Structure 1
Amino acid sequence: MTAPATGEPGRPTAAGEDAELLEIALEAARKAGALLRDGRPADLGVAATKSSPIDVVTEMDIAAEKLITSFIGRLRPQDGFLGEEGASSEGTSGIRWVIDPLDGTVNYLYGLPSWSVSIAAERDGEAVVGVVEAPMRRETYQAVKGGGAYVEGVRAHCRPAPDMEHALIATGFSYLRERRVAMAEVVKVLLPQVRDIRRGGSAAIDLADVGCGRLDAYYERGLHPWDMAAGALFAREAGALTGGRPGLAPAEELTVAAPPGLFEPLQQMLEDLGAWHD
């Protein structure tokens, strides 16, 4: 199936296969978001040790990924997959779906609203379609390479770059004790030099918020491809720059997103602070 070109008000411009991929990603993300929202037990508690509440979240994660891969696999059986919960196949079409079925697991466990479903379609290793579904925000972020970024029918644009001291910057922290110590040292130096720092808990939403102008910048160490693929494309299509260490693409070592003019000094500051290593 090949969808016609789209680009009507409120939608990214997409033609041919990209239009098809966008429609599939939107529907898969919507279905998974509804499953997670409606399937979360109202009395889900937070355990002090590994026990049933964490198992419930793990089961929801796996169920959402299975829903996504099954839905896409029926429509595009030749495509490959890379998912946080273990979906991995090469495929033969040149398209690979990069999936985080529940980005912001701890938020979900605690009943906080900042969690999302992130789905990106890569062609020959490059993201061409990205969808981030945030059910508790009632927002869907969608982007197509070269076709723009939109949220709820509105074209998204990142903020003009402020100077560093007026920048609102988001980040995230590892759950590895040693790495958290190193991350805290970076924040200790960075915090007095910026407006403030936020920790939202969902990398995909943080990247989308940069694209929507709700944050000036975002950085984090330790992201996997499924954490950033859709959100980073959205941020770029909204006018932000994304990268890792200077001269490198976003990677597990470091991911940075910010508008031109802020991106460069922030990236260099993070490099100088050693934000990319423990």
Structure 2
Amino acid sequence: MVLLTETIPAGLRADDLTFARELAALADSISLPRYTASTLKHGLKADGSVVTEADTATELALRAAIEAARPEDGFFGEETGEHTGSGTRRWIIDPIDGTANFLRGVPNWGTLIALEIDGEPVLGVVSAPALGLRWWAQSGGGAWRQHGTAEPTRLRVSAVESLDQVSLSFQAVESWAKTGHLDALLDLCAEVWRDRAYGDLWSYMLLAEGALDAVCEFNVFAYDLAAVIPIVREAGGTCTDVNGVSSHSSGNLLATNGRIHEQIRSRITR
């Protein structure tokens, strides 16, 4: 029997991880039937990003479930905004990370569920039902991956230490260009062994699994990052913004196996 949790950090309830995984199952039951559906309705938000009825329906269901089971907790979702709770706990939700993929029939999309306590994400669940995969972690309990109904396996980042052996996922060229980091990206890609843009949640999960060594992206928000950070950290990795600050609200994130973190960060910011 795989041990799913080891310790319960301060502020976490013993059943928070179980509850978060139940939320992921609820999200999957709403989003997956709508995936590739010919009747799916979609539009553009004010910022030009795509939103579908699946995004909204999923978030509304998760928000209702959280408000019913954890009425004292705060909530922050990409589609419905923020509700302030009575304490220091806040659930952060991205109902469908990778909405454009979802709309186009690319299976790299999923729901991100995080619990933040005192401003720090301490629990994360990432569910990608079209891939049949789910990942989760809570502080002190390790990071885990489950494929379908198989037994969960514990995750560990890679042991790569040299830039010429690094496999890097850089997400979107456009965001690097808009933030003035395109030259740094091109120089970095020339140094590493392999560069790809796997995109969205999957890049971070591949990092936690040890298949990638570094991921960096710009123009991101707390709901894009809060769930993936505990998983990467509990797998032994490091997450900061490009200035080295531990944050899920700086608008960018550098996540690595830890061994090459400062080497890559220094090249992005020089």
TM-score strictly above 0.5 = yes
Q: Residue 19 of structure 1 aligns to a residue in which SS? A: coil
How is 1:1-278 mapped onto 2 (pairs within 5 angstroms)? Answer: 9-15=2-8, 17-43=12-38, 57-152=51-146, 153-173=152-172, 179=178, 182-202=180-200, 204-250=201-247, 251-272=249-270
Following the alignment from structure 2 to structure 1, what is the Cα–Cα distance between the partners of residues 252 and 49? 30
Per-residue CA deviations over 1:58-111 (Å, capped at 9, x if unaligned) read 221111110111111111111100111123111013210011111011111110
Structure 2: which amino acid aligns with 1:60?
Answer: A
Give the fraction of aligned pairs with identical amino acids, expressed as a percent.
Answer: 28
Closer, same or farther: CA 174–60 of 1 in aligned 2, 3 Å: farther
Distance apart, 1:209 and its partner CA? 1.6
Structure 2: which amino acid aligns with 1:260?
Answer: G
Following the alignment from structure 1 to structure 2, what is the Cα–Cα distance between the partners of residues 56 and 50? 5
Distance apart, 1:245 and its partner CA? 2.8
Closer, same or farther: CA 71–253 of 1 in aligned 2, 3 Å: closer
Contact residue 176 and residue 185 of structure 2 kept, 8 A: no
Following the alignment from structure 1 to structure 2, what is the Cα–Cα distance between the partners of residues 10 and 46? 41
* Superposition TM-score, scaled by structure 2 size: 0.87
Contact residue 12 and residue 142 of structure 1 kept, 8 A: no
Deviates more, 1:137-146 or 1:165-174: 165-174
Contact residue 18 and residue 128 of structure 1 kept, 8 A: no
**Larger helix share, 1 or 2:** 1
Contact residue 107 and residue 115 of structure 1 kept, 8 A: yes
Deviates more, 1:83-92 or 1:112-121: 83-92
**Larger strand share, 1 or 2:** 2
Contact residue 173 and residue 182 of structure 2 kept, 8 A: no
Following the alignment from structure 1 to structure 2, what is the Cα–Cα distance between the partners of residues 175 and 169? 17
Contact residue 33 and residue 133 of structure 1 kept, 8 A: yes
Q: Residue 72 of structure 1 aligns to a residue in which SS? A: helix
Superposition CA RMSD, Å: 2.7
Q: Identify the residue that residue 149 of structure 2 maps to in structure 1.
A: none
Following the alignment from structure 1 to structure 2, what is the Cα–Cα distance between the partners of residues 33 and 167? 33
Runs of 4+ in 1 over 6 A off after TM superposition: 44-47, 174-178
Distance apart, 1:173 and its partner CA? 2.3
Closer, same or farther: CA 226–45 of 1 in aligned 2, 3 Å: closer
Distance apart, 1:31 and its partner CA? 1.2
Distance apart, 1:176 and its partner CA? 6.8
Contact residue 98 and residue 109 of structure 2 kept, 8 A: yes
Closer, same or farther: CA 234–55 of 1 in aligned 2, 3 Å: closer
